[in-house]
């Protein structure tokens, strides 16, 4: 295994910005701490990218780091557009919403995009779907206030009926009927994955959809090709490949979900292409209240074959 592909290590962007877990107050990040992390893995590629980061007396420069993260997220949005990710989300979200309606829920459904970054998925839904007709609202949430500010700026410039909040989507002060995320769940591993999923078990939450890379032996190579072709920053190129290497297998996700949120029926959606053994780039961990399962199966229509066992 290449050192830069070792899934046991964090991604560079996981470490660039750190927060107080209670207040979300931003904390100073020392460059040497990051270098020490990647030195333990022999990851010279990551070390070179970190060494080039701007600093003040050994502490990463917050303003420069924010500018870098915005660049990275803009590049990530371009990939999401090229992979038609908005369509992928709505393909599954629409029948989930309908199944909740069929179960008798009439109130406005609040859909929260957890770890939204600059809000591509949320803005796509607000731009392409009639939220009023479906009686839904879409909200993006992220720990990073700079990304949230950019998401709100873009939504305002585009005249979109959505909003973005700085905060923890799973905290007691926020609620949602449906949680969605993209490329987030692989950042949680071991006990942290169990705890992340355990926090979904809230009375008002009816479903969750976590979209992420699907791991297989060629995934890092495919990610390397696209990120070298499309990304301009060393950090984006490094982390894009490592994300594919760190992606969870379906069994890991379903076992964690069934242990953590027994109040949901959970499984995987969209793991194979057209019923063949070939894997899709993305798969989705889906969880929904058991009484919604029959309605979802009906509403999926011909796409029901993409839905694995829900239990």
Specify burial of residue 103 (Cβ count, 10 A radius: 0-12, 13-18, 19+).
middle
Q: Which of 111-120, 258-267, 273-282 has the lowest average pLDDT?
A: 273-282
For 222-233, letters b (16+ CB in 10 Å) and e give ebbebbeeebeb
**Spatial contact of 25 and 19, defined as CB atoms under 8 Å apart:** yes
Show Cβ contacts of residue 248 under 8 Å, excluding neighbours closer than 6 positions.
185, 186, 193, 212, 215
- Chain centroid, CA 247 distance in Å: 11
Confidence band, pLDDT 50/70/90 cuts, at residue 232: confident
E strand spans, 20-84? 26-27, 55-56, 59-60
Share of the chain above pLDDT 70, in %: 97
1 has pLDDT over 70 = no
Q: Decide if 187 contacts 7 (C-beta within 8 A).
A: no
List all residues 6 or more positions away from 60 whose beta carbon is below 8 Å from its beta carbon: 16, 28, 29, 30, 31, 53, 54
Rounded mean pLDDT, 128-148: 97
Q: What are phi and psi of 181, to 5 degrees?
A: -155, 160
Average pLDDT over every residue of 127-150 = 97
What average pLDDT does the segment 225-232 reach? 70
**pLDDT tens per residue, range 2-13:** 898 999 999 999
- Mean pLDDT value of segment 100-126: 97
Distance CA 16, CA 31 (A): 9
pLDDT surpassing 80 at residue 300 = yes
**Number of residues in the chain:** 311
Which of 218, 181, 201, 174 lies closest to 258 in space, CA to CA? 201
Q: Which one is predicted more confidently, 33 or 220?
A: 33
Assigned CATH for 82-306? 3.40.50.150
Does the pLDDT at position 249 exceed 70? yes
> Is the pLDDT assigned to residue 221 strictly greater than 90?
no
pLDDT average, residue stretch 78-106: 95
pLDDT at 82 over 90: no
Other beta carbons less than 10 A from residue 177's beta carbon: 20
Indicate the pLDDT class of residue 229, thresholds 50, 70 and 90: low
Between residues 234 and 64, the one the model is more confident about = 64
End-to-end Cα spacing for the chain: 35
pLDDT at 52: 96
| Segments making up each domain of the chain, as ranges | 3-69, 82-306
| 261-276 residues labelled b (16+ CB within 10 A) or e (exposed) | beebbbbbbbbbeeee
Per-residue pLDDT, 225: 67
183-206 pLDDT, tens digit per residue, is 999 999 999 999 999 999 999 999
In this prediction, what percent of the chain has a pLDDT beyond 90? Answer: 82
């Amino acid at each position: 295994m290449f050192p830069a592909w070792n899934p046991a290590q964090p991604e560079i962007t996981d470490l660039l910005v750190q927060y107080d877990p209670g207040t979300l107050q931003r904390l100073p990040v020392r460059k040497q701490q990051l270098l020490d992390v990647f030195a333990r893995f022999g990851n010279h590629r990551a070390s070179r990218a970190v060494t080039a980061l701007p600093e003040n007396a050994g502490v990463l420069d917050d303003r420069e780091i924010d500018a870098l993260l915005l660049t990275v997220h803009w590049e990530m949005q371009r990939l999401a557009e090229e992979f038609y990710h908005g369509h992928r989300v709505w393909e599954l979200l629409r029948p989930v919403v309908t199944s909740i309606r069929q179960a008798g829920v009439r109130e406005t459904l609040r859909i929260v995009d957890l770890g939204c970054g600059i809000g591509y998925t949320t803005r796509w839904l607000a731009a392409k779907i009639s939220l009023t007709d479906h009686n839904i609202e879409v909200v993006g949430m992220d720990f990073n206030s700079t990304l949230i500010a950019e998401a709100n700026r873009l939504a305002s410039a585009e005249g979109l009926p959505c909003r973005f909040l700085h905060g923890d989507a799973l905290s007691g002060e926020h609620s949602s009927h449906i949680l969605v995320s993209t490329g987030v769940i692989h950042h949680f591993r071991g006990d942290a994955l169990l705890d992340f999923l355990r926090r979904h078990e809230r009375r008002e939450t009816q479903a969750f959809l976590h979209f992420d890379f699907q791991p297989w032996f060629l995934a890092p190579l495919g990610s390397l090709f696209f990120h070298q072709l499309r990304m301009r920053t060393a950090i984006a190129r490094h982390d894009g490949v490592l994300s594919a290497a760190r992606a969870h297998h379906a069994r890991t996700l379903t076992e964690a979900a069934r242990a953590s949120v027994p109040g949901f029926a959970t499984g995987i959606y969209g793991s194979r292409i057209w019923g063949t053994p070939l894997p899709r780039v993305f798969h989705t961990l889906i969880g929904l209240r058991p009484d919604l399962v029959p309605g979802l199966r009906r509403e999926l229509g011909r796409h029901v074959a993409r839905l694995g066992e829900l239990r």
